[in-house]
Amino acid sequence: MKFKKGGFMRKSRVFCIAVVAMMFTVFLIHEVLAKNYYLDPDIEKRIQNQHQRIEAGISSGQLTRDEARALKNNLHHIQEEAVNLQADGRLSSSEKQRLNAVLDRNSEMIQDKRQNPITAVAPGAGAERDNQIRDIIARQQVSINAGIRSGQLTAQEARILNNNLNHIRDEEARWRTFDGRLTEDARDRLMAMLEENGRMIRNKKTNPITAFGQTYNESVPSINIAKRISNQQNSIDQGIRSGKFTREEARILRNNVSHITELARGANRDGVVTNAERRNINWLLDQNRDMIFDKVANPIRQVW
């Protein structure tokens, strides 16, 4: 069999050109990716530094795992934002200033979470902050229960702290807009109250345990029950207007509130509400509250 020398040389040249073209294409893709994922050295250094500080905070016990996760999520958001801003291969001075401002906020939360409560920095992170508020409420409840068992808290101190938590829960329900969401101002106020209650739980010597907005006395629990009932009625009305509840669901929730109201009136007929009666009424209110907050996780039902 004979081969044509000219044909073989032409095929070789075509093959070489194709290989060179492919290599050049790969090089271009690499350059584009490099530009898109390039981070400004100053921004990258600050992100790495904050990662190290977060890890140190976990090791020292200064930060909980949840707090560290929130702070790291902030850094992840900042890094993604930086990459997006540098999609054209450069970072303007105003863009860099904006990134540094967000990094400053995260740094302050790492440095002193008491003065700077840990929150999400991503725009539109309201749902995350709502979850964080509920997580803190749950953790404080656990701490109060642990304080009672260890003897760190007296029964009266625990009652005050629990009343404060119930107040925060009710304020959360009251401040929700018709679509069931909290405004940023409402979230900030809730976080401030939680921080105040948290300081009393952690160190009652330097932060004397007191009820929010008033001096504690034995009549406060009854006042709180009446307030909780009123807030739940308002939340149900808002749920109907926003479409959150069907008419049937609202009817059941209202019947629960009516039943609890009658129990509270009956318990207070002689002017004295026993601790057992108060606990039972608040337990029923807690169940109804959970159904109002999240009917998917807490199917709406009769509580008695």
Query: Are 163 and 220 within 8 A, CB to CB?
Result: yes
- Classify 129 as helix, strand or coil: helix
Query: Are 75 and 106 within 8 A, CB to CB?
Result: yes
Could you give the CA distance from residue 255 to residue 280 in angstroms, rounded to a whole number?
17
pLDDT, greater one: 95 or 152: 152
Average pLDDT over the chain, rounded to whole?
78
Could you give the CA distance from residue 35 to residue 23 in angstroms, rounded to a whole number?
18
Q: Which of 232, 132, 151 is nearest to 190 (CA)?
A: 132
Confidence at residue 34, expressed as pLDDT on a 0 to 100 scale? 40
Residue ranges covered by each domain of the chain: 41-111, 127-210, 219-304
Q: Which residues contact 264 (CB under 8 A, 6 or more apart)?
A: 222, 225, 226, 229, 273, 281
> What's the gap between Cα 245 and its chain centre?
24
Q: Is the pLDDT of residue 18 over 80?
A: no
What's the pLDDT tens digit per position in 164-203?
Answer: 998 888 878 777 654 466 776 677 778 878 888 888 898 8
Band (pLDDT 50/70/90 cuts) for residue 37 is very low
As a whole number, mean pLDDT of residues 11-22 equals: 61
What's the pLDDT tens digit per position in 210-262?
Answer: 887 543 333 334 446 787 888 888 888 888 888 888 989 999 999 999 999 99
- Whole-structure pTM value: 0.37
As a whole number, mean pLDDT of residues 102-108 equals: 90
Is the sign of the CA dihedral 145, 190, 133, 43 positive or negative?
Answer: negative
| Residue whose token pair is 């409840």 | 141
